Structure 1
Amino acid sequence: MTGAYSRPIGAAPLMHVAVLCADVDKSLAFYRDGLGFSARYEWTKSIAESGQVVYDARGVYLELGGHTYLELFPGGRSDADSSPGPMHHIAIIVPDVDEAYRKCLKSGGAAFPVDTWTGEPTSVVLNGEPEVKCRVAFIKGPSGELIELYDQRGPIHCAIH
């Protein structure tokens, strides 16, 4: 989140976040058409060295950048959403929150209200030290996953106290 980000030595990078999809093809179209992601790898079976089938269904990796992926699996429910947790939402950095919000709605997403806020694009200030300005919106993906569209207007400077 700063101009000169570096992961601490020895810290593990995030590889992927998995989403259980009510319809993998519908979710794939949403992430492709709404957010510009493309499928990088697809499989239908995971087999251990022993020959045991560990997973026997479709899986798709969408590259988010830097060897980080969104993984789509079948088995989700369209009537659910991720807000009860334990993982509430994923945040995706976009160059234009308003445009990404419109594209996501057009591509099968839905507005996702958070408390009294409609979830529509708005500018906010994080009141830490120093303050950070950003523009955000929340959208519900086709399988109920909550996505924050995020455009930060200034760096976050982290310091250990």
Structure 2
Amino acid sequence: MSTITGMNHVALNCHGKKEMDEVIDFYCNVLGFRKTAGCYVDGLGNMAMIDTGTGTIELWDNAEQKRGDGVIGHLALTVESADEAVELFRKEGLPIDSEPADLVLDTKPKMNIRVAFVRGKAGESIEIFQER
């Protein structure tokens, strides 16, 4: 059985809080999705989660510059064990950008997670996301 159980979210990095608020307004008030979480993460900026009904969009207000078309921050995979998932990438010889670490997101309710970041075959950033 695979430790990877599916897609968790796709992250978009907004250029500042104003753009992030506009993105939230669009996804929630125009498309009808629902904001389910929001908090400030020390060193990373403001974060919000939008439930689309079949997946989640994670927003950050920390983009350094405007992005080109088709650019996402990262995709996140839901896993049973972050440590085991990272080993799958390591065995493939793929780069491990950050080893598994435990975090508590100051959302309502608080979210206990274990995450790591790895690189896929096309150089894409993949977050390994384990809820605890």
TM-score where L is the length of structure 1: 0.39
- The structure that is strand-richer by fraction is 2
Is the radius of gyration larger for structure 1 or structure 2? 1
- The structure that is helix-richer by fraction is 2
TM-score where L is the length of structure 2: 0.47
